[in-house]
A and B are shown apart, each in its own frame.
Chain A
Amino acid sequence: MFNPLARKLSLACDFEDVDRQILDDIISQSRKVGPREDIIREGDLPDDVHLVIEGFACRYKIMPNGNRQIVAFLVPGDFCDLHVAILGEMDHNIATLTPCRMVEIPRETIEELTTSNPRITRAFWWATLVDEAVLREWLAGMGQRSADRQLAHLICELYLRLKSVGLVNDHSFQMPLTQQELGDAMGLSIVHTNRMMTELRTRQFVSIQGRQIRILDVEGLTEFAQFNPNYLHLKRHRAPDEVQAFFGD
């Protein structure tokens, strides 16, 4: 069974068989959700934690003038709202962008796991901290990066995030996002986003075929974006006892 959650979380933790079984059980009941459907709205008190198994979703806020700011793209293996197990009321909206397959995990399951399984708890904690790190990077980019670098940076990020769950094939991946959606995530107008996308194509960093994007020049794109993948925490940082065990040998 393709389990993007287990695949993603195993970046944070060495799981035992029992953990893998739990993570497989968690995703055994999924449901299909159509594109552009709200999963949870601001103010809701959800009973379940949602997880993306297939497709793209997003977190967003609607401003008083009706404009939308997308504050996160959620890809397979991402929790939409792990924090609701603790925070309760939603302070933003979550919607699918493409057709998705989602899993609903009861709050009680999450609570039970956090008291009974330290490895999975640590991995959940890791996932939440990485979400925060991504948000910091987006904030820094929106404030300080030029629009072309911001778009290049976002493409590098999606490339690595999708690669970590096995959804990149020969530098190609599905990026089923409209220019409006990309623009809403970067705080750019649709005309500007289109112009920046054309620029990245003209410089031969990427090619786009429908919803498929291929990175033609990984090094060039990374350098142009001034992309440092450290914030994705794809490399394992060992826990102190593990470090000790490592040096103790």
Chain B
Amino acid sequence: MARYFFDVQDGPDFVKDEDGHDCAAISDVRIAAMKALPAMIGARIPDGDGYRVSVIVRDDEDHAIYRASLTLESTWLSNRDGQ
């Protein structure tokens, strides 16, 4: 059991995890990070055509060890610009 810190880059906002939480196995780190992503994009409608949320995991020695990202992409397919 070791403690990991799950920082979040939510569009332009970086949110540092000060508390961390314990994971029994390293595979749980990946599961916890990935599981969080869809809901963090959630019902958000970004201003532009894209939005990206990442979870960056640090170990208890402050080394970044893992990153998972989810990107929302959109584009108009004809000449309409959505205005």
Contact = CB atoms under 8 A, between A and B. Distances in A.
Interface of A: 146-147, 179-180, 188-192, 194-195, 198-199, 202
Interface string B39-68: 110110000000000010000000000000
6 contacts: A179-B19, A189-B32, A189-B35, A189-B36, A194-B17, A198-B16
B39 A189 contact: yes
Classify the secondary structure of B's interface with A. Answer: mixed
A194 B39 contact: no
**For this complex, into which size category does the number of interface residues on chain B fall?**
10 to 19
A192 B39 contact: yes
- 4 tightest CB-CB pairs across the interface, nearest first? A191-B36, A189-B36, A191-B6, A195-B8
B24 to A, nearest CB: 13
B15 A179 contact: no
Contact of A188 (B10, B18, B39): B39
A46 to B, nearest CB: 33
Contacts of A188: 39
B39 A198 contact: no
Which of A147, A188, A191: most chain B Cβ within 10 A? A191
Nearest to A180: B21
Contact of A146 (B16, B18, B43): B43
B43 to A, nearest CB: 7
